[in-house]
Amino acid sequence: MNANHRLPRSNSGFTLTELAVVLVIVALLLGGLLAPLSAQIDVRNTSDTRRALGEIREALLGFAAANGRLPCPAPASTASGANGAGIDPLVGTTLVACPSESGVLPWATLGVAETDAWGHRYTYRVSAAFAQALPSGSKAAFQLSTQGTLDVYSAATGGAVVATGVPAVVVSHGANGFGAFTSDGVQLWVGDSNDEAENQLTGGGFAMANTTFVSRTRTPRFDDEVAWISPGVLFNRMITAGKLP
């Protein structure tokens, strides 16, 4: 056989143009799949956090029924595992008032999760009169006539009143986490939403700019989840527990 007589070689490879077209198609398909998946994860996290807030509300009411007061906020800047992390500062001390009315939820004292579904701590503020140490011989730190100092609105400016005279408020800072504290005791960027700013801690986590909060429908710039203890529900739970009147 003539060595120069060879069978034609078939070209089974792809050109660069064909590869580019395939990559574009794959990217489009993945993008179409990832967007709904991201939305599903956000919906699930929101649902899980709302359920957790319901459990937190019950834990706060249970604490009040057992101890005659609401718990004090835990220090926001204390990292998990450090001394005092997630602990009500009044527990086991001789203090008669909360060192601060603002901080994070005392998760360890209440026996609830430290963070929401996005891994951020819950901001917690309490009206001081509802979190005092019990006077000698008293079953509760407050009376039926005690007024809360916290209010909830539908917007930071010009919003309608949602709740007034509230004893305590708990905030999840949502998926964006703006203003939330992490388990390391570090506050995330506060963002640029006035409505979300109403729900955020100031002063290194020991204060808040005012006594008002915002609870509203979610938007691209607002995704906080806000829960509160209403006076009527708290008083009814205390009466049932024999702490009031």
170: Cβ–Cβ under 8 A, 6 or more apart, which residues? 53, 56, 57, 60, 105, 122, 123, 124, 226, 227, 228
The reply to whether 90 falls in a domain is: yes
Q: Is 132 inside any structural domain?
A: yes
How confident is the model at residue 38, as a pLDDT? 73
Residue 65 lies in a domain: yes
Does 169 fall in a domain? yes
What is the distance between the alpha carbons of residues 142 and 64, in angstroms, rounded to a whole number?
Answer: 11
Could you list the mean pLDDT of each consecutive 10-residue stretch along the chain, which spans 245 residues? 52 68 71 66 90 97 97 97 96 92 98 97 98 92 96 96 97 97 97 95 94 95 96 97 94
Alpha helices by DSSP H, the chain: 16-67, 107-110, 194-197, 231-240
Please give the residue range of the domain that contains residue 175: 16-240
Task: Report pTM.
Answer: 0.84
Residue 8 lies in a domain: no
**Does residue 5 fall inside a structural domain?**
no
Contact predicate 198/214, CB 8 Å: yes
Q: What is the domain count for the chain?
A: 1
Contacts of 47-52 with CB under 8 Å at 24 or more apart are 48/116, 48/117, 49/116, 49/117, 49/118, 49/172, 49/225, 50/225, 52/112, 52/113, 52/116, 52/117, 52/172
The model's pLDDT over 31-75, given as tens digits with 9 standing for 90+, comes to 665 556 677 788 899 999 999 999 999 999 999 999 999 999 999
**Is residue 4 situated within a structural domain?**
no
Q: Is 95 part of any domain?
A: yes
Mean pLDDT, all residues of the chain? 90
